[in-house]
Amino acid sequence: MAELLSGKPIALKIKEELRRELARIPGKPKLVAVQIGKDKTSDLYLSKQKKEAMLLGIDHDVLTLSPSVSQEEAIRAIKGLNEDAGVTSIILEMPVPKIIDAKSLICAIDPIKDAECMHPANIGRILFGDEAIGPCTPMAVMELIKSSGADLYGKEAVCIGHSDIVGKPLALMLLNKFATTSICHIATAERGMLKDYVNRAEVLVVAVGKPALIKGSWIKKGAIVVDVGINKEGDKIVGDVEFEEASKRASFITPVPGGVGPLTTAMLMKNIVYLFKRQREKQ
């Protein structure tokens, strides 16, 4: 039976370290979340964010823009936050209304205030092997893999899902550790190749958003399995991997919920503290 890779204890440890670090620095960070219109999922994420920030003594504010705001107005609002010395971190809450181009708003965030590490200048640093900050979910995945004690050097790592926020940056992070990395996506599945890739994965990370997409019987014996997927099934939350069956073959597996999720917010806090320190050093 696989050992569980739980996110909570690691998250608690990271937040404790951040608390100690912040106690040594004068002043405190301030995060502003930019929300365009209202959205239930984003409200939930916001309240989680706010709770975690406040527990660490990080100020948290929400700038709510009208759903009919223009692209130019939204960019102006973000630039205003860039110029406000009291704001040390900015997040653009997703989703944004369809008429808004989220990518150009992300590009408007000053990289030194980019809490989610989505600005191309920050993502690009990962390409150079600089992971001082990183997109929160891939960083959480890497922490979970690290906690298994596995050495990634030369290992067959397979990411299922190639989104900008999870799969693509995660693949770079795995490459930075010299894992032999493959990325699969919808086209891999359409060619009927998913099972073959899963079969050979010594480290498997799945971030798709489809319950039971990955059959337990496909998992390589002894594999490390990180399930990023969040799916609602009735009143239950499940991942993308058939958990029971996969647990019989894997050596380590993340629970859903309780695996990647709790660590993601801790990683956000880590980025916020890092950016705050960098800004203090520049003063």
The residues, any chain, with a CB within 8 Å of residue 187's CB and separated by 6 or more, are none
Which residues lie near ligand NAD (CB under 6 A)? 137, 160-163, 165-167, 184-186, 188-189, 194, 207-210, 213, 228-231, 260-261, 264
Closest approach, Cβ 256 to ligand NAD, in A, equals 8
- 166 vs 272, beta carbon nearer ligand NAD: 166
CB 5, CB 246: distance < 8 Å? no
- 8 vs 277, beta carbon nearer ligand NAD: 8
Task: Write out the two tokens for 106.
Answer: 């992300």
Closest approach, Cβ 262 to ligand NAD, in A, equals 9
Residue ranges of alpha helices (H) inside the chain are: 7-24, 40-55, 71-83, 102-108, 120-127, 136-147, 167-176, 186-190, 194-200, 243-249, 260-282
CB 88, CB 113: distance < 8 Å? yes
Q: At residue 248, what is the residue type?
A: K
Closest approach, Cβ 68 to ligand NAD, in A, equals 26
CB 91, CB 31: distance < 8 Å? yes
Closest approach, Cβ 159 to ligand NAD, in A, equals 9
- 111 vs 161, beta carbon nearer ligand NAD: 161
- 105 vs 207, beta carbon nearer ligand NAD: 207
Closest approach, Cβ 85 to ligand NAD, in A, equals 31
Q: Is 167 exposed, middle or buried (0-12, 13-18, 19+ CB in 10 A)?
A: buried
- 176 vs 188, beta carbon nearer ligand NAD: 188
